[in-house]
């Protein structure tokens, strides 16, 4: 039995969060670059889509967390349309995970804690950026970074009010495994209506590739 065939047994797990944690752990061991990278798809209220890569910064039963400039294009679209989707593609493992659901803001305390954990250069870069807006020259941005560096000196860089995070609360999670001859394996978990704001128990079933 090949390694890929053995992986197929894991896709039958009944807890999508436990299965994601297992796969994510495997990706962190095997993926050469950015196993946390995920495509984030958003849409305007009238349905015009956009997609970009962001980094996963937290995961668990409450959802999947990422951070951004709230005044960026993605921030504006998420403010207008709270439905979004994520896609992980781990080429080294020949696996994908698709996640769909609504987004909600993280708490100020969560955003403060993560911002404080970033490198100083990243903090300054975020504070200086008017993300997604026109930039006359790259030098303009670098000059703003340098000006903030001088302003704060050796002191802490405060989290800008326009920089925070979102948590995608999943309504559906799909796991995909590459198989020979495109006979791929797919299992989709769907959360039913139920007991809490995040929904009820999960059900799952296989999908044709």
Q: H or E element: which one contains 69?
A: strand 63-69
pLDDT digits 0-9 by tens, 149-172: 999 999 999 999 999 999 999 999
Band of the pLDDT at 196, cuts 50, 70, 90? low
Band of the pLDDT at 192, cuts 50, 70, 90? confident
Band of the pLDDT at 14, cuts 50, 70, 90? confident
**pLDDT number for residue 13:** 67
**pLDDT number for residue 7:** 45
* Inter-residue contact 77 to 44 (CB < 8 Å): yes
**Which residue is listed with tokens 């704060």?**
152
pLDDT of 147 above 80: yes
CATH architecture type of domain 3-115+161-207: Roll (2.30)
Collapse the DSSP code of 72 into the 3-class scheme (helix H, G, I; strand E, B; otherwise coil) and give the result: coil
Angle between helix axes 120-128 and 138-152 (nearest 10 degrees) is 120
* Inter-residue contact 11 to 175 (CB < 8 Å): yes
pLDDT of 200 above 90: no
DSSP state letter for 199 = B
CA 137, 69, 58: angle at the middle one, nearest 5? Answer: 130
Cα distances (Å, whole numbers) of residue 133 to 17, 100, 151, 203: 36, 27, 23, 42
* Inter-residue contact 45 to 80 (CB < 8 Å): yes
pLDDT digits 0-9 by tens, 61-80: 999 999 999 999 999 999 99
Band of the pLDDT at 4, cuts 50, 70, 90? very low
- Give the closest residue to 23 by CA, choosing from 52, 59, 62, 51: 59
pLDDT of 83 above 80: yes
Provide the percentage of residues in the chain whose pLDDT is more than 90.
87
* Inter-residue contact 5 to 181 (CB < 8 Å): no
Domain ranges in the chain are 3-115+161-207
Q: Is the pTM of this model over 0.85?
A: yes
Q: Measured in whole angstroms, how far is the alpha carbon of residue 126 from the centre of its chain? A: 18
């Amino acid at each position: 039995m090949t390694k890929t065939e053995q992986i197929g047994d894991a896709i039958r797990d009944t807890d999508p969060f436990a299965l994601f944690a297992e796969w994510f752990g495997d990706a962190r061991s095997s993926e050469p670059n950015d196993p946390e990278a995920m495509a984030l798809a958003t849409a305007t209220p009238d349905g015009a889509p956009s997609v970009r890569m962001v980094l996963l910064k937290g995961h668990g039963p409450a959802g999947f967390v990422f951070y951004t400039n709230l005044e960026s294009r993605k921030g504006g679209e998420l403010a207008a349309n709270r439905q979004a989707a994520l896609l992980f593609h781990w080429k080294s493992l020949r696996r994908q995970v698709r996640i769909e659901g609504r987004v909600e803001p993280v708490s100020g305390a969560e955003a403060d804690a993560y911002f404080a954990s970033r490198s100083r250069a990243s903090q300054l870069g975020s504070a200086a950026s008017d993300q997604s807006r026109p930039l006359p020259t790259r030098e303009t941005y670098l000059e703003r970074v340098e000006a903030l560096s001088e302003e704060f000196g050796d002191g802490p860089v405060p989290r800008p009010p326009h920089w925070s995070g979102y948590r995608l609360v999943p309504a559906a999670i799909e796991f995909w495994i590459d198989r020979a001859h495109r006979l791929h394996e797919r299992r989709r978990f769907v959360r039913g209506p139920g007991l809490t704001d995040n929904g009820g128990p999960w059900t799952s079933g296989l999908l044709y590739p």
